[in-house]
């Protein structure tokens, strides 16, 4: 099994980052504007992008510390994988350790998703720090796959 890993630091409180990861408005502020559903544990959040989207079941949330999702619908390579955010305070930063766990093969789509996650996590940082992120469809274009 293969994982995508990332680490960013946000100059804000763990609570503010946690809100951006666990509310529909927060998620729409940095990942994709077209975010709907139920972000409580056991609920399913639907993230839609111009070319398609993902449905995430919320498996676990721990205020200011951790969020865990399981992909229940979306591209075949994503189904059954998990996305985890772990938060901790360090210096004046809330550090976010991100892991997209359980890829079965290092397909080219995994290369793409890794870079795209980095770009969305920088959007999360910007959103929490300034109030404005770069969610889809205004996200940073990184290649012909968008």
Q: Which residues of the chain form beta strands (DSSP E)?
A: 2-10, 34-37, 44-49, 52-62, 66-73, 82-90, 93-103
| CB closer to its own copies out of 42 and 92 | 92
Stretch of 29-37, 46-54, 63-71, 109-117 contacting its own copies, by CB under 8 A: 109-117
What are the angstrom distances between the C-alpha of 44 and each of 2, 18, 38, 77, 99? 24, 17, 5, 19, 19
Other CB atoms within 10 Å distance of the CB of residue 105: 10
Whether 79 contacts 90, CB under 8 Å: no
According to the binding rule CB under 8 A, does residue 76 interact with its own copies? no
x-or-dash string of contact with its own copies, 3-42, rule CB under 8 A: xxxxxxx---------------------------------
Residue 124: CB minimum distance to its own copies, A: 11
Residue 123: CB minimum distance to its own copies, A: 12
Residue found under tokens 């972000």: 39
Can you give the binding site for its own copies, defined by CB under 8 A? Answer: 2-9, 90-93, 95, 97-99, 106, 108, 110-112, 114-115, 118-119, 121-122, 125, 140, 142-145
């Amino acid at each position: 099994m293969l994982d995508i890993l990332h680490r960013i630091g946000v100059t804000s409180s763990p609570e503010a980052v946690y809100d951006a990861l666990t509310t529909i408005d927060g998620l729409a502020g940095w990942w994709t504007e077209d975010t709907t559903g139920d972000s409580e544990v056991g609920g399913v959040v639907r993230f839609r992008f111009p070319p398609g989207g993902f449905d995430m079941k919320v498996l676990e949330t721990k205020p200011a510390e951790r969020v865990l999702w399981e992909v229940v619908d979306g591209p075949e390579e994503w189904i059954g994988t998990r996305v985890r955010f772990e938060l901790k305070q360090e210096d004046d930063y809330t550090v976010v350790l991100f892991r997209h766990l359980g890829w079965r093969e290092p397909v080219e789509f995994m290369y793409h998703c890794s870079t795209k996650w980095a770009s969305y996590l920088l959007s999360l940082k910007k959103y929490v720090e300034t109030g404005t992120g770069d969610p889809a469809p205004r996200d940073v274009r990184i290649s012909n796959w968008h």
